Each structure stands twice: as structure tokens, then as C-alpha cells.
Amino acid sequence: MDYETPAVILHITSGISVAGFAGDAKPAYTFSNAERTDWDASEQLWRDTIQQNLHAGTTTQPVMLTAEPGQDKDGREQTIKIFFEKLDVPAFYLANPGVLSVYATNRLTGLAVMAEGESTSIIPVVEGYAVKAAVRNVSATDNVSEAVQDSISSCDLKVRRELYKNIVLAGGAADLSSIADSLKTELPELAPPNQTIKVATPEDPQDLAWVGGSRLASQSDFRQQWITRAEYDERGAGIVHQKCS
């Protein structure tokens, strides 16, 4: 499916949020402390970000939104309903922010440690897909190193070495550097002996998921991944579980 205008990419979190257009190197708009007390507030936030802050049209441009960590089935379905039924988008994709963060660093396999606000999500990614059973969500006061070790240990044995060597820090949390230091000192004591551990903190980590989305949505082979209006009308909100990993 071809569209005349570039897709809108939204990465909205409880910490630093960013928005912009597919194919751009950096987001066009940054803001913090996004208030989403209910679904009406979420709809208004999405609408205002697209129309007022990006000066784009919801009815003419596809939208990629990063999924909230731990969002349940009903939440994912309500999200896609709002975008098609209220915002009237022509196409939509709900993306895993961990997958996008790893992709932004030119990796298909890696472990995204995403620190936003008061929580941290650990998302193992193998060949471009999140290992959902091994995702861990912890609060800011929990030991991130133990959660990382638990997450990797829950993955298939043959991919664990690559995950240890491709840990990617992302998000806008103020203590990201301290998380990196903790992982470098604590994880070797938890991991198997002689395991190589590499922790990458890319430039502008708060933008990393957005950058991955911008790159992915601009690829020609991603066109078939969009959920189109016709597909939504035919199959309903449940299609989000089939097409959005």
C-alpha cells in the first residue's frame, strides 16, 4: 500500500515523548509528562500531537504508535479502535518499542533495556521479534541486573550469548547512566562464567525507539505490515494481535 505522505511515528511514554515522520533522522516534536488518565485523554493527546504539533492530517497519513509496556489484549484493541474509528487513519501499526530500539542500532537480535519514568522494561528481541514470554517490567527501585538475567535465562539457550553481547539501553530516564554502570558491574556476577557482556548506550537514547520506527516505516518491504482500513473493516480490532508483534 503506497501513501502520498510519510507516516507519522509516535513514541509516547510517561517520561519523554517524541513524534515525527518516517524517513527523518530525528523527531520533529518532543514533550514530557504526557497525561493519559483515560481513553478520552489518550485520544485527545494523539490527535493534538498529530494535528497541532506535527501539522499533519490523521485521515491522510498512516500512523505507527509504540505500544505501552505490559499493555494487555483489551488495551491493544482499544488503541486500534480509536485510531480507525475516531481518528480515521488510513493505516496503522502498533510497534514494540524494544524491537524498534534494537533495530535503530542496526541489530535484529539484542536485549532492549527501556527506562522511562518510574519503570524499566526488559525486552529480548530475536531476529526482529520480541520474546514476549521473557519480557520483564520492573520499578525504578528494583534491581535491573537481576531482571535482565532472569529475562535472558528465559530465552532459548542458543540465543543467550548474543543477547548478553547486545544489550541496548534506551529511554528518557534520568538515571540511565547509573543503570548502565550497574549492569556492567553486577551482570557478570549473575551470568554464566566467561560470558562476554556488552552494554551500549546510544546517543539520544530517549529517541531510540522513534528512530527505529522512522527507519522501519520508511522501508519499502514494510508496506505489507501496515493494518489498512480495509483489513480493519473486514477483520476487526483483533487483527492487531495478528499483524503487530
Instruction: List the CATH number of the domain containing 149.
Output: 3.30.420.40
The candidate with the shortest Cα–Cα distance to 7, out of 239, 223, 233, 202, is 223
> Which pLDDT band holds residue 70 (cuts at 50, 70, 90)?
confident
Average pLDDT over residues 133-158: 94
Task: Say if residue 3's pLDDT is above 70.
Answer: no
Q: Is residue 156 part of a domain?
A: yes
Structural domain count, the chain = 2
> Which pLDDT band holds residue 238 (cuts at 50, 70, 90)?
very high
Cα–Cα distance, 169 to 111 (Å, whole number) = 8
Task: Say if residue 219's pLDDT is above 70.
Answer: yes
Average pLDDT over residues 57-79: 93
Q: Read off the pTM.
A: 0.94
Whole-number mean pLDDT of the chain? Answer: 93
176 and 232 co-located in one domain? no
Task: Say if residue 2's pLDDT is above 70.
Answer: no
- pLDDT > 90 in the chain, percent: 83
49 and 83 co-located in one domain? yes
| Per-residue pLDDT, 56 | 95
Task: Say if residue 35's pLDDT is above 90.
Answer: no
59 and 87 co-located in one domain? yes
Task: Say if residue 1's pLDDT is above 60.
Answer: no
| Per-residue pLDDT, 230 | 97
What is the span of the domain harbouring residue 125?
Answer: 106-201
Last residue of a domain, one of 167, 186, 201: 201
| Per-residue pLDDT, 116 | 86
